[in-house]
Structure 1
Amino acid sequence: MKKIKNVIKKMSLTQQLSFMVVSIFVFLVVFFFGFLTLNIDSFVESQIFNITRDSQDTVIQNYLLGRTGTSLFGSSASNIVHVIYEDDGLPLISTNVPLEYSFPGITKIIEDKLEVVTPDMRLNMRFEKNSLISMKGINQSTTIVSIMPIEYHNQFRSALINSFVYMIVLVIGIVFVLLLFWVATIIHSLGLIQEFIEKSKNNQEAELKLDRGDEIGQLANVLVEMQDELHYQQKQKEEMLQNISHDLKTPVATIKSYSEAIKDGIYPYETLEKSVDVIIEHADRLEKKVFNLLMLNRMDYMTHEKISSNTEVDLEPIVQQVIVSTKQIRPDIEINFETKGSMFFGEEEPWRVVVENLLDNALRYSKTRVDIHLDDHQFSIYNDGERVPKKKLKSFFKAYEMGDKGQFGLGLAIVSRVVTNYNYKVSATNKKYGIEFKIERKEA
């Protein structure tokens, strides 16, 4: 069975379709000859007895109306022989050929059964292998016997089998054509998707339009959306790299020029102490940028590695330390901190970066206050700054996506990577006055 599955997997769609149609055809043939043929004889015999009964009832009606001669048997089926037996007369027969000549030995069988047939019963039986007999009592003294030659039985059986075979072939033919057309549309659509992917892989201009509402159409739409997203990400990345190059170049150039000036005994910023402070400030700025890039790269690496989620860290002291060190950015902003629990899975340093980035972001956009709420495996930070369009909320955590007051477009991306790696989720929600970022455990 496994070998058959492997063979089918290697087939093209057209080959799979042909294999499926042939399999169905073989199944139907086996079913027909293995099951139906066992029951078709009884079915055909039952149908013939029904035909005989109808013809027999017509003759009985004519007899009761007093008709004789051709009027008595004229409307009956030509291949059915009717014989009417009366107690006080010779049998009336629908053919000129003697009964014993056509069906040798049948007279004795009929005479033996005449005594048991009553007007309320109909007796059906097979005579040897050459005829079917149906006997019905007309009244107490009269009985009709109808005989159907076995040739008609065989003709009916052959016609039924041929009709069934023709029907199977016709249905399978129609189904095959429809499936072939259906597979052709699928192959064409998959060919367009493959061409689109190849062009996208080679950075060529690619367009994909499939007028389909099924799963293939949905796949095509997802691929187009993915390509648009990749192009957008690439553009954002290029812009980010340009910005980073510029931002790295500026502090490096400042540090170099100030250092050379001090070496030559010149103080660019009034005094030696102030000039050194400028160098330290730019060095700190440079260090932060490099740290963010390294942290993002580290989180990307951790995404593809197995991370232990058994280690727990207490976030309360981390948040308090970050508040103290970050408050100087906006000393005019009121920071409220409330805690009910503080345990999170993960390592201390990545969570410190998360809290720093979220608080730094909140302080940058806040008008008057920042509210921080901490509980076990739940952390939220609210600022009363401007609300953000819903479309923008979804792109907050993408790498290289910068806000109006953003720096590198990496802070919230790092937040997203860290919480995801530790099996948490982060979201941004507009409130009535401001915006809230929330971290919580993913549902199992």
Structure 2
Amino acid sequence: MKNRSLGFQIWAMFLLVIATLSIVILIVMRSSIGNFIDEQVYATLENSEVFFSEDASVIEMLQDNPIEFDRRKQESRSVNVLLLSKNGKLYYGGAPQQLVNQMYRDAIDQEKEMQKYTTRLDKEDVYYSILKMEIKGETYYRVSYVWDAYRQELITQLFSKIGWVVAIVSILTLFIAFWLARRLTHPLIEIERAVGKIAAQKWDTPLPLDRGDEIGRLARSVDAMRMDLEKQDKAQKSLLQNISHDLKTPIMVIRSYAQSISDGIYPDGDLTGSVSVIEEEAERLEKKVAALLYVTKLDYFELDRSTWDHVDLDRMVHLLQKRFVGTKALTWKITGEAGIVLGEGEQLRVALENVLDNAIRYAESTIEIRLSGTRQTATVEILNDGPPLEASSPLFHQFSRGKEGKFGLGLYIVKRIVERHEGEVTIENLIAGNEQNKVCVKFNFPRHFQEESSGKK
């Protein structure tokens, strides 16, 4: 069923409901109504006995005033009446002899004053009740009976009417099912077509957004995805253009310098200077390729915590500071202690290294590193006194631009590493009283010690 269309499923569901109701009516209601009609038939038989009470002498009325007797009999609503004596004499009424004999046998064997019976005669049921009466010391039996035709007629008429009602309701229900299926499936079909166009990178595809239900929310979610994919697509195309340009530039420099040196020409004055330019461009090219490969590694390799170990963030920060201290004339300041976290040391080093590299690039005179921690988290804050950030600059995005218009992956790599360690990284302009404004990158790493302990247990 789940592989069928939604319209088919709605129709099938309504048909199932109709079929179930029909079965209930045919089985349950027919039995209940049959029992109810049986009770009504017997009630009719009992009502016919009103003028055969103990206070009235049926025999005397029959002998002295037959007209009154017949008139009151007609009030019994077409119920046939027999009067039998104890010796089997038929005083009043008439019926097939076979039926009279059966009634007489039942009357003789009857112990209660009144009892109900059902018998079958010539493939038709007969309902009758026998009332035992004592009149002037003699025993008489009053038998009231009706043929099954009355009952069958009631049931047939009733179920005929019910059948018409069910048929009309079924037709109306199917029309409602058709309307509901069309109302639900039409916007879904539109969304399906729109998604197909979005998959083909047709970003101007409209979606049915004028609904407040779940379908409308789905359409708005798809539309938000469309706009995000459009931005991603434009940024990715621009990234490829800029990266290809960034990669071409050092390659062209290396090739031109190498060709010039092979021709005996030294573009930078001498051989040593020219070779150093080649080395710088090769190193620049190596860094760009390494960043791209590292992003691929983070995106496509599953997180493996089996390689995690205890990492001393304080020691790592001091080692990185010694490594970078000679690259630019800056004042370094390191305060506090962050302690040890559980993680992959090489990735944490890359994250801190990328942030420090950016800080050194933009810092004017000072780089400050603040280390702190609690029982659950370790915090590292890296501040520089460079130019403030632009409020709208998504620096942690995969395709974000730097201030010089170049695409960088350094901070995106930082964010991915921190997320893999279930941590958090933020970047903001920091205003500290009368101090100079600074740019602050803040790391929060969970220690994961409690998780490790519970796993060992």
Instruction: Report the alpha carbon displacement of residue 397 of structure 1 after superposing the two structures with TM.
Output: 3.9
Q: Distance in 1 between matches of 2:260 and 2:338?
A: 51
Instruction: Report the alpha carbon displacement of residue 400 of structure 1 after superposing the two structures with TM.
Output: 0.7
Matching of residue 438 in structure 1 with residue 444 in structure 2? yes
Instruction: Report the alpha carbon displacement of residue 265 of structure 1 after superposing the two structures with TM.
Output: 5.6
Instruction: Quote the residue 2:118 is aligned against.
Output: 126
Instruction: Quote the residue 1:5 is aligned against.
Output: none
Q: Distance in 2 between matches of 1:199 and 1:99?
A: 85
Instruction: Report the alpha carbon displacement of residue 310 of structure 1 after superposing the two structures with TM.
Output: 0.9
Matching of residue 227 in structure 1 with residue 226 in structure 2? yes
The answer as to whether partners of 1:49 and 1:134 remain within 8 angstroms in 2 is no
Q: Distance in 2 between matches of 1:356 and 1:61?
A: 113
The letter of the residue matching 1:355 is L
Matching of residue 415 in structure 1 with residue 405 in structure 2? no
Q: Distance in 2 between matches of 1:266 and 1:409?
A: 29
Q: Distance in 2 between matches of 1:403 and 1:167?
A: 75
Instruction: Quote the residue 2:151 is aligned against.
Output: 153
Instruction: Quote the residue 2:435 is aligned against.
Output: none
The verdict on how the C-alpha distance between 1:308 and 1:115 changes in structure 2, with shifts beyond 3 A counting, is: closer
2:192 to 191, 194, 200: 194
Q: How does 1:380-395 map to 2 (within 5 A)?
A: 380-383=379-382
Deviations 1:256-309 (A, max 9, x none): 7888899646657xx99888777665554443333212211232332xxx5543
Q: Counterpart of 1:315 in 2: which secondary structure?
A: strand
The answer as to whether partners of 1:208 and 1:220 remain within 8 angstroms in 2 is yes
The verdict on how the C-alpha distance between 1:109 and 1:165 changes in structure 2, with shifts beyond 3 A counting, is: farther
Matching of residue 53 in structure 1 with residue 43 in structure 2? yes
The letter of the residue matching 1:125 is Y
Deviations 1:380-429 (A, max 9, x none): 4335687997x97xx65431124668963422322344455x56454538
Matching of residue 352 in structure 1 with residue 349 in structure 2? yes
Q: How does 1:141-180 map to 2 (within 5 A)?
A: 145-163=143-161, 165-180=163-178
Q: How does 1:246-265 map to 2 (within 5 A)?
A: 246-248=245-247, 264=265
Matching of residue 343 in structure 1 with residue 364 in structure 2? no
Give the superposed CA RMSD: 5.0
Q: Counterpart of 1:147 in 2: which secondary structure?
A: strand
Instruction: Report the alpha carbon displacement of residue 111 of structure 1 after superposing the two structures with TM.
Output: 3.5
Q: Distance in 2 between matches of 1:11 and 1:76?
A: 62
The letter of the residue matching 1:315 is V
Q: Distance in 1 between matches of 2:34 and 2:257?
A: 110
The answer as to whether partners of 2:397 and 2:412 remain within 8 angstroms in 1 is yes
The verdict on how the C-alpha distance between 1:139 and 1:296 changes in structure 2, with shifts beyond 3 A counting, is: farther
Instruction: Report the alpha carbon displacement of residue 73 of structure 1 after superposing the two structures with TM.
Output: 4.7
Q: Distance in 2 between matches of 1:220 and 1:107?
A: 78
Q: Distance in 2 between matches of 1:248 and 1:116?
A: 113
Q: How does 1:109-124 map to 2 (within 5 A)?
A: 109=105, 111-112=107-108, 116-117=112-113, 123-124=115-116
Matching of residue 287 in structure 1 with residue 286 in structure 2? yes
Uncovered stretches (5+) of structure 2, i.e. residues with no partner: 62-67, 432-439
Instruction: Quote the residue 2:298 is aligned against.
Output: 299
Higher Cα radius of gyration: 2
The verdict on how the C-alpha distance between 1:217 and 1:414 changes in structure 2, with shifts beyond 3 A counting, is: same
The answer as to whether partners of 1:342 and 1:377 remain within 8 angstroms in 2 is no
Q: Distance in 1 between matches of 2:82 and 2:425?
A: 95
Instruction: Quote the residue 1:44 is aligned against.
Output: 34
Q: Distance in 1 between matches of 2:177 and 2:348?
A: 57
Taking structure 2 as the reference length, what is the TM-score of the superposition? 0.67
Deviations 1:98-148 (A, max 9, x none): 24579543541564367621xxxx633213452112456899999865423
Q: Distance in 2 between matches of 1:71 and 1:384?
A: 116
Tell me which moved more, 427-436 or 39-48.
427-436
The verdict on how the C-alpha distance between 1:361 and 1:182 changes in structure 2, with shifts beyond 3 A counting, is: farther
Instruction: Report the alpha carbon displacement of residue 213 of structure 1 after superposing the two structures with TM.
Output: 4.3
Q: Distance in 1 between matches of 2:336 and 2:194?
A: 52
The verdict on how the C-alpha distance between 1:126 and 1:355 changes in structure 2, with shifts beyond 3 A counting, is: same
Q: Counterpart of 2:288 in 1: which secondary structure?
A: helix
Tell me which moved more, 168-177 or 272-281.
272-281
Q: Distance in 1 between matches of 2:359 and 2:398?
A: 18
Q: Distance in 2 between matches of 1:441 and 1:176?
A: 62
Q: Distance in 2 between matches of 1:125 and 1:330?
A: 118
Q: Distance in 2 between matches of 1:431 and 1:144?
A: 109
Q: Distance in 1 between matches of 2:427 and 2:71?
A: 97
Deviations 1:303-361 (A, max 9, x none): xxx554311244325443223334556834533352332331x4x44332222224445
Instruction: Quote the residue 1:3 is aligned against.
Output: none
The letter of the residue matching 1:241 is L
Q: Distance in 2 between matches of 1:354 and 1:273?
A: 35
Uncovered stretches (5+) of structure 1, i.e. residues with no partner: 1-7
Instruction: Quote the residue 1:4 is aligned against.
Output: none
The letter of the residue matching 1:226 is M
The answer as to whether partners of 1:100 and 1:106 remain within 8 angstroms in 2 is no
Aligned length: 413
Q: Counterpart of 1:219 in 2: which secondary structure?
A: helix
Q: Distance in 1 between matches of 2:132 and 2:425?
A: 91
Q: Distance in 2 between matches of 1:197 and 1:274?
A: 57
The verdict on how the C-alpha distance between 1:107 and 1:300 changes in structure 2, with shifts beyond 3 A counting, is: closer
The verdict on how the C-alpha distance between 1:233 and 1:335 changes in structure 2, with shifts beyond 3 A counting, is: farther
The letter of the residue matching 1:343 is L
The answer as to whether partners of 2:337 and 2:371 remain within 8 angstroms in 1 is yes
The verdict on how the C-alpha distance between 1:115 and 1:296 changes in structure 2, with shifts beyond 3 A counting, is: closer
Q: Counterpart of 1:334 in 2: which secondary structure?
A: strand
